[in-house]
Each structure stands twice: as C-alpha cells, then as structure tokens.
Structure 1
C-alpha cells in the first residue's frame, strides 16, 4: 500500500500516525509540506529505519519548491510525477494522511 503524507511534522502528527499504522510492505511518499520531513535534522528520525529499507520517497518538485534539495536525508528516494504514478500503479491502493 502507498501512503502519502502532505503535512509537515511541525504542523501535524500525520507522519507519526502513518508510521505507527503501516505494515511491512507499505511505502511512504512525502508530498507538499510533507517533504519537510525528508530534510536531515528534522523530527523525521521516525523515517530513518523505513528509509534504510528503501520504503520512503519524496516528490522532487515539492522538495525543490521548498529549497531543501541539498538537505534530503540519506536513503530517501526522490521521484518526479511519473514516479508518483508508478508508485500508485505498483502498490494499487493509496491512503492519504492529512
């Protein structure tokens, strides 16, 4: 299952709720303000283990728009809109965490 998170960890606890809920086959895609969690030294340490497993993605356009391209944490994969569509197709079901 694909889980999208569009809120910053500084705004809501959506990311933590998502991480607490997902199973071992799920992946997370950070979009909109959710990409703030992809930056190093944020409250995103909850993503470290999942990112090391290759299960965390961030939307490149949103990362660029927020000026954090050079600050993306290790193991978080950046995808463009085509990559976003590929993730939706690959995982079949998407859940949005607002």
Structure 2
C-alpha cells in the first residue's frame, strides 16, 4: 500500500498516525505541505530515519521546490509527477489527511 501524507507534521498528527500503520515495504510519499516532514535537520528527522529502516520514503520534488526545501533527510528520494503516477499505478493508495 502506498501511503501519502499531504499535511505538515507541525500542524497535523497525520504522519505519526501513518507511521503506526505502515507495513514493512509500504512506500510513503510526502506531498504538498507534508514535505516539511522530510526537511533535513528538523525534529522529524529521527522518525523519518526509523521509517526508512522498513519502508522507502519519497517526497514530491515539485512540492519541495515550491516550498524552498533544498535539503532533505538522508535517504529520502525526490520524485516527479511521473514517479508519483508510477507509485499510484503499482499500489493501492491510503491518503493521510
């Protein structure tokens, strides 16, 4: 299952709730304001690192760019819209709002 998170972890518990339910191997994609979670060096860096031990973590590059985020947590892969579509085609989607 692909988990998408579109809200900032500074404003919503969606990321923490998602992490509780992610199964090993489930990709997690941060989009819209959710990309603030993967900005390198913030208070969520350890949670992202722990998540990456069992699941791939992605961030939508256009959303990172739009928010001026140029440094992401190690191991987080920035993807474009084509990559987003590929993930959606390959997985059932659960959106965490």
Same-fold call, TM cutoff 0.5: yes
- 1:5-35 Cα offsets, whole Å, 9 max, x none, are 0011100010000001111121110000000
**Could you say if the C-alpha distance between residues 75 and 53 of structure 1 is closer, same or farther in structure 2, counting changes exceeding 3 Å?**
farther
Equivalent residues, number: 96
* Contact 2:31-2:60 within 8 A present in 1 as well: yes
Quote the offset at 1:64 in angstroms.
0.2
Structure 2: unaligned runs, 5 residues or longer = none
Distance 1:21 1:53, change over 3 A: closer
CA RMSD for the aligned pairs?
1.3
- CA offsets 1:58-98 (integer angstroms, 9 cap, x no match): 000000000012x211100000000000011122x001000
Name the structure where helix makes up a greater proportion of residues.
1
Q: 8 Å contact 1:54–1:76 — kept in the other structure? A: no
Secondary structure, aligned partner of 1:96: strand
Gap regions ≥5 residues in structure 1: none
